[in-house]
Structure 1
Amino acid sequence: MTYAGPRDLLEVDLSARSVRRTALGDEVFADALGGVGLAVRLTDERVRGRLDPLGPENPIVIAAGPFASTPVPAANKHALATISPLTGLLNEGLSSSHFSAVLRRCGLAAIVVTGASDAWTVLAIDGDDVRFEDASGLAGRSARETTKALRERYGDRSLRVCAIGPAGERGVRYAAVENDGRQAGRGGTGAVFGAKRLKAIALRGRGEVRIADPAATAALSNVLRERALGPTTAKYRVLGTSANLRVLQRMGQLPTRNFTAATFEGAENVTPERAREARGTYLELRAGCAGCPVQCEHLYVRKDRDRRAAAASEYESVWAFGPNCGVDDLDAVLDAIARCDAVGIDTISAGSAIAFAMECAQHGLVAADAFGPPLRFGNAAVLLPAIDAVAERRGLGDLLADGVRAAAQRIGKGAERFAMHCKGLELPGYEPRTLPTYALGLATCTRGACHNRAATYDRDLRDPSAERDDETRAADAIEAENRAMAWDSLVLCKFVRDCFDDFEREAAALWSAVAGLALDADGLSAAAQRTWERKRAINARLGWTSAEDTLPPRMFDEPVASGPNAGCRVDPQRLAALRDAYERLRVEAASHRHIAATA
């Protein structure tokens, strides 16, 4: 059998204003599956040594998920891969909704963009037709404003657009790319778009997406959809990811005031439960990705304000501007999230940069009045001025726009102690000092401090009392990474991860029914291992060394001060032993895969 889905690769050179469309062979899809796996493979073929992430040679790869525009639920997603201007290493993010489906309806499995335009450009893809169009009139507009303007230009409200905001235009190194209100936020792909003068990619496609076995696909999809409407996803349907605030607060694992504490006395004030209890004050809106039964996005806005000002109450975003900045004002937190979406920057990195600056100001390393209102923990009034200064690269904001690692290096005087990052990517909202397997996952993750690529916190949270040996923890971390790579290659939403009885077996059967190529559980695991090997190889060519697989000094030197986990810290010798076990198991897995591949 042959691969049933769209298989074309569109290669775009913005410098030469040229395009080339070719068909990828069955062996590519059998090897990489799609999504992140395909994006990483295409990046691996093009990044053979060190490069400037903001230079024209850095590729942007957009790879469709193999289930997009099919009946498979929670699967209208695509991957974006590039070399991160924030970390200097491989960055691959995910986005979702209609853009992913229309990408495949254009007959495309992936797009690779290289080069750089002399002026702001829209890459317009209309089925087989590809055009370079002037975007000078769109400069300075948000992604949503850009999408609206392009739909009006083409007279087509169904046009699908991914675009950057003003922060991406100005090279903020954690600028996001947005489509359909969804952000590929982490790592600064939006800054790479900006360096290429690529304001947006606009898609219009109405082709058929063929499925190898429609009956089997429908049957398997119906089972998944029914499970996705059951108790395993209830938390996301009812409250969204911010339900984690109460849980982590209760467990003493909620990073607070730039990781100087692990509980936040004002946490309750920024929970979705509190917003819901004030039904006379707040309007709650629901949203979600195309074709997803969960509809996990919960947005809130005061009833006396325009409902278009509603912001998503996502855990990581609320944490970044709430507990991490010591702010317990829900309105201020929601406004900060909305402002980040408007200017086009990652909320985790933005909140972390402001929290870093607050601690620097506390120690006299930066001016406390740098943004006007006092730059101190708990001062909600400083959030919007700080975000605007970052997006405009103005004053201290210009420094913070390069991320906390670079900012700390430029400030000096011990500011590195306050920079919470791994490999240059700011830490997300889980406390590594209380989650040992997660600490290992953060340190070794090829992307940097990413909770989605190193979702090892899940094992720790499910069984926090278990004391496991180094090899078991290392094996747990590898299993979590490989499972995430399989999810991200298929590309399925991780919020339905508990809807499978046997993920590898069931997901492989789903792939085979849709794609028409044989895949079993072992083959799915082997594909994930191949993707990890490619990620590591790319980073090694870019200059990565194992010395970077570590955590911020605070995790080693400063135990959790209070709460249920008071006294916890990361033992550097234990982390080193865990890393050794991790590397040994990774080498063994690679060796076994190569032996099996040549047998």
Structure 2
Amino acid sequence: MEVLEIDVGKKRAQRRSVAAGGPLEAALRIHSERETWRLDPLSPECPVVIGYGPFVGGRLYGVHRLIFVFKSPQTKTLHVSALGGAAYKAMGASVQAISIVGKAERPTAILVAAGRVEFADVEPGDAYQTIKQLYARHRDFFVQNDARALAVGPAAYTTYSGAVVSVDLSKTGEPKPGAEDFAARGGPGTALAQGHNVAALAIGGPKTPLYRQIADGEAIDRIFLQKFGKRYIEVVNEKTVKYRFDQKLGTGGTFGVNYVHYRDLLPLFGYKSIYMSREERIKHADLILELFWRPFQREVFEKSKSWYNCGEPCPVVCKKVWHGKKVDYESFHAAGPFIGNYIFEEAVPLVDMVDRLGLDAIEAGHLIAWLFDAVYVGLLKPEEVGIDDKPAFDPRSFNPTEDSRRNARLAAKLLENLVNNTTEVLTLVAKHGIRRAARELEKKLRDRVLATGHRFRDLAVYAAYGAEGYMTPNFYWAPGLVAPMYIQGRYWTNYNPTFMAPEDFAKSSYERAVAEAYIDNAGICRFHRGWAEPVLKELYKLVGLDPPTPEIYRGFAQYAKLAGAEPMPWESKRARDLVSTLARELGSREWSFQDYDDYYEWWIRFKEALDKLVSGGA
């Protein structure tokens, strides 16, 4: 595949060929060549690789994800993040991937179209304003090349968890409804901003398929008829029901479906809900359905039916928009029930604030919940995180209306203070993240730890990597999300609310991780995985490429080992309890987790089984 290597420090670009079938394979090769496991994640010599899969521009839907592969300032190893729809315009770059190295003297925008590269100064700020500024200054480039903009927010320059924000604009420069998305997990925005001083990109050019065969509708139909006994569009409609509209549930999209489907199994109050009885959790689930889910349902499904796609032509229209704001489960749960806010209308401006600041929404939810809990139990004083009141953070005494409004107000102030580094505590957190900050705060505030009986680390839920890296889980009560997998924070694991023996769990998680790696390497949206995974090999053969192999996941595992960022045993009591409480909830007889040795044995056996699978063992 063709890769455009851009050195923003020298303002140079050159093309090269890389033996790879997709952006993950290309990134692994590029990082291996440069031996970036030796480098700081924010070194200018550590590339951020941005690319797409081989199936763009043809008759397939959901194949236009833009994939980011970078050494994460959070996990300290290679991470993968993705945003929807952007490759529909980025395929005009005439290369399948861009690799960014070097560091610009000033905040810089990179404009790429048809293999040509321009550099321009940009004034970084609110991510949406940066995109508008870029369009206003380079309108001819956007119009002539039908380009799509990407930008970081202020959080990318001041925290470890900056996102990349992308909005598809119309020819008049107005945002297209629903066509906004975020590559956020692991801090790709921080890698771009602090590592390379890249604040924005615009990518466009002539839209042509990489391979003409992918525009052959009859050839595609033959593959699906052979595999499913149905034509392609019929299979797409069947396999994407959840994300479009599920008639059985009367709703659709991740937000609409998850609250109805998971109900009392969804984590609340920074995972404190795992300690509640099922009866208590059901009461909270009913409140959330009425106060948080129902307003969305009335507006989006019963009234306006404002459903859109991510910017590529796609019939799934998974983007559900409430009064102009795209609503997804993860971001709204982060600004809602996870931080003790059950009022949907209070979450909307908070999500918008997270997006404008350019923060990873999931990580922001974990940060807020962790600091709220630390203030609530007395480990921190409100003023030490720049707020004027204690949050309401006990689900058993929670007033859903008054306390939700208080928590939403405090969360907004907390995020503003975090990004502006206004207190010593928040500066520590913004620079290093939860894991290292927790350790340093335990040393500095040892008297409070002893007085309260709480450790900072025990109020958070994360998977640890090496000496300092970590990743917080997506918002499910699922042991697989904190299990010792080499990439966490996305769905490269068994993320179901289930429990089993560690060897079986490792096998199921490994198989899911390999499948997810294939999908990301192909640049395919996860919402389309139901039809894509069974025919992926045939699609690669259709365009004359070798199908992906488990070597992709093995490559990420080997890199983590070289970088000193392998999975480490659980440090947080609440992370361990996420595993044991679900085991009890599901009636596990073999694993009672009476003491730390039980947790350690389960973790070790999982890790050993995983490593055997990664190395190619049976």
TM-score, normalised to structure 1's length? 0.82
C-alpha distance in 1 between matches for 2:111 and 2:366? 35
Aligned twin of 1:372: 387
C-alpha distance in 1 between matches for 2:301 and 2:89? 40
Q: Following TM superposition, by how much is the alpha carbon of 1:327 offset from its aligned partner in structure 2, in angstroms?
A: 0.9
C-alpha distance in 2 between matches for 1:532 and 1:175? 25
Aligned twin of 1:452: 491
Aligned twin of 1:187: 186
Contact kept in structure 2, 1:63 and 1:78, CA below 8 Å: yes
Aligned twin of 2:416: 388
1:459-515 Cα distance to aligned partner (Å, 9 max, x none):
x5xxx5xx7544332221111111111111112222223336xx34x11111222x3
Contact kept in structure 1, 2:462 and 2:482, CA below 8 Å: no
Contact kept in structure 1, 2:331 and 2:351, CA below 8 Å: yes
Q: Following TM superposition, by how much is the alpha carbon of 1:226 offset from its aligned partner in structure 2, in angstroms?
A: 2.6
Q: Secondary structure at the match of 1:58?
A: coil
AA paired with 1:134?
D
C-alpha distance in 2 between matches for 1:55 and 1:231? 42
Q: Secondary structure at the match of 2:368?
A: helix
Which of the numbers 358, 367, 373 marks the counterpart of 1:344? 358
Aligned twin of 2:170: none
Task: Point out where structure 2 has 5 or more consecutive residues left out of the alignment.
Answer: 168-179, 225-229, 246-250, 275-280, 394-402, 443-448, 450-454, 465-469
Q: How does 1:188-207 map to 2 (within 5 A)?
A: 188-195=187-194, 196-206=196-206
**1:429 aligned onto 2:416:** no
> Judging changes above 3 Å, is the alpha-carbon distance between structure 1 residues 387 and 575 closer, same or farther for their aligned structure 2 residues?
same
Aligned twin of 1:153: 137
**1:105 aligned onto 2:92:** yes
Q: Secondary structure at the match of 2:60?
A: coil
Aligned twin of 2:552: 531
Contact kept in structure 2, 1:474 and 1:578, CA below 8 Å: no
C-alpha distance in 2 between matches for 1:161 and 1:10? 18
Aligned twin of 2:537: 508
Which of the numbers 230, 247, 251 marks the counterpart of 2:238? 230
RMSD value over aligned CA atoms? 3.0
Contact kept in structure 1, 2:319 and 2:327, CA below 8 Å: yes
Aligned twin of 2:397: none
Which of the numbers 281, 293, 299 marks the counterpart of 2:315? 293
AA paired with 2:572?
P
> Judging changes above 3 Å, is the alpha-carbon distance between structure 1 residues 227 and 586 closer, same or farther for their aligned structure 2 residues?
same
Aligned twin of 1:255: 267
> Judging changes above 3 Å, is the alpha-carbon distance between structure 1 residues 267 and 164 closer, same or farther for their aligned structure 2 residues?
same
Q: Following TM superposition, by how much is the alpha carbon of 1:440 offset from its aligned partner in structure 2, in angstroms?
A: 4.2
Aligned twin of 1:596: none
Q: How does 1:480-499 map to 2 (within 5 A)?
A: 480-499=512-531
Task: Point out where structure 1 has 5 or more consecutive residues left out of the alignment.
Answer: 1-6, 302-309, 433-438, 594-599
C-alpha distance in 2 between matches for 1:590 and 1:511? 25
Aligned twin of 1:305: none
AA paired with 1:555?
A
1:336-377 Cα distance to aligned partner (Å, 9 max, x none):
111111111111111110110111001222222443342413
Aligned twin of 2:341: 327
Contact kept in structure 1, 2:462 and 2:575, CA below 8 Å: no
Contact kept in structure 2, 1:86 and 1:187, CA below 8 Å: yes
> Judging changes above 3 Å, is the alpha-carbon distance between structure 1 residues 579 and 560 closer, same or farther for their aligned structure 2 residues?
closer
C-alpha distance in 2 between matches for 1:316 and 1:159? 28
C-alpha distance in 1 between matches for 2:203 and 2:475? 35
C-alpha distance in 1 between matches for 2:17 and 2:92? 15
Aligned twin of 2:254: 241
Q: Following TM superposition, by how much is the alpha carbon of 1:443 offset from its aligned partner in structure 2, in angstroms?
A: 2.1
C-alpha distance in 1 between matches for 2:301 and 2:372? 34
Q: Following TM superposition, by how much is the alpha carbon of 1:217 offset from its aligned partner in structure 2, in angstroms?
A: 4.8
Aligned twin of 1:9: 3
C-alpha distance in 2 between matches for 1:384 and 1:46? 41
Contact kept in structure 1, 2:492 and 2:509, CA below 8 Å: no
Contact kept in structure 1, 2:127 and 2:153, CA below 8 Å: yes
TM-score, normalised to structure 2's length? 0.80
Aligned twin of 2:467: none
C-alpha distance in 1 between matches for 2:514 and 2:476? 20
Which deviates further from its counterpart, 476-485 or 368-377? 368-377
Contact kept in structure 1, 2:65 and 2:524, CA below 8 Å: yes
C-alpha distance in 1 between matches for 2:130 and 2:34? 30
Q: Secondary structure at the match of 1:49?
A: helix
**1:407 aligned onto 2:437:** yes
Q: Secondary structure at the match of 2:574?
A: helix
C-alpha distance in 2 between matches for 1:591 and 1:280? 47
C-alpha distance in 2 between matches for 1:280 and 1:218? 33
1:104-146 Cα distance to aligned partner (Å, 9 max, x none):
22211111111111111111223232122222xx222x33222
C-alpha distance in 1 between matches for 2:457 and 2:414? 20
Which deviates further from its counterpart, 227-236 or 373-382? 227-236
Q: Secondary structure at the match of 1:331?
A: helix
**1:118 aligned onto 2:105:** yes
Q: Following TM superposition, by how much is the alpha carbon of 1:557 offset from its aligned partner in structure 2, in angstroms?
A: 5.2
Q: Secondary structure at the match of 1:431?
A: coil
**1:541 aligned onto 2:580:** no
C-alpha distance in 2 between matches for 1:192 and 1:451? 18
**1:479 aligned onto 2:511:** yes
AA paired with 2:457?
E
C-alpha distance in 1 between matches for 2:266 and 2:420? 31
Contact kept in structure 2, 1:123 and 1:202, CA below 8 Å: yes
Q: Secondary structure at the match of 1:457?
A: coil
Which deviates further from its counterpart, 181-190 or 572-581? 572-581
AA paired with 2:537?
A
AA paired with 1:8?
E
C-alpha distance in 1 between matches for 2:304 and 2:417? 30
> Judging changes above 3 Å, is the alpha-carbon distance between structure 1 residues 356 and 121 closer, same or farther for their aligned structure 2 residues?
same
Contact kept in structure 1, 2:151 and 2:165, CA below 8 Å: yes
> Judging changes above 3 Å, is the alpha-carbon distance between structure 1 residues 115 and 589 closer, same or farther for their aligned structure 2 residues?
closer
1:398-457 Cα distance to aligned partner (Å, 9 max, x none):
34424222331232132111122112222221113xxxxxx2453222233x24222x12
Q: Following TM superposition, by how much is the alpha carbon of 1:164 offset from its aligned partner in structure 2, in angstroms?
A: 0.6
C-alpha distance in 1 between matches for 2:585 and 2:257? 17
Q: Following TM superposition, by how much is the alpha carbon of 1:257 offset from its aligned partner in structure 2, in angstroms?
A: 1.0
C-alpha distance in 2 between matches for 1:206 and 1:534? 33
1:20-53 Cα distance to aligned partner (Å, 9 max, x none):
21233xxx23xxx213333333323323433222
Aligned twin of 1:171: 158
AA paired with 1:576?
E
C-alpha distance in 2 between matches for 1:286 and 1:217? 30
**1:354 aligned onto 2:368:** yes
Aligned twin of 1:443: 483
Percent same amino acid among aligned pairs? 21
Q: Secondary structure at the match of 2:412?
A: helix
> Judging changes above 3 Å, is the alpha-carbon distance between structure 1 residues 382 and 586 closer, same or farther for their aligned structure 2 residues?
same
Which deviates further from its counterpart, 533-542 or 284-293? 284-293
Q: Secondary structure at the match of 1:230?
A: helix
Contact kept in structure 1, 2:84 and 2:525, CA below 8 Å: no
Aligned twin of 1:65: 53
Q: Following TM superposition, by how much is the alpha carbon of 1:93 offset from its aligned partner in structure 2, in angstroms?
A: 0.6
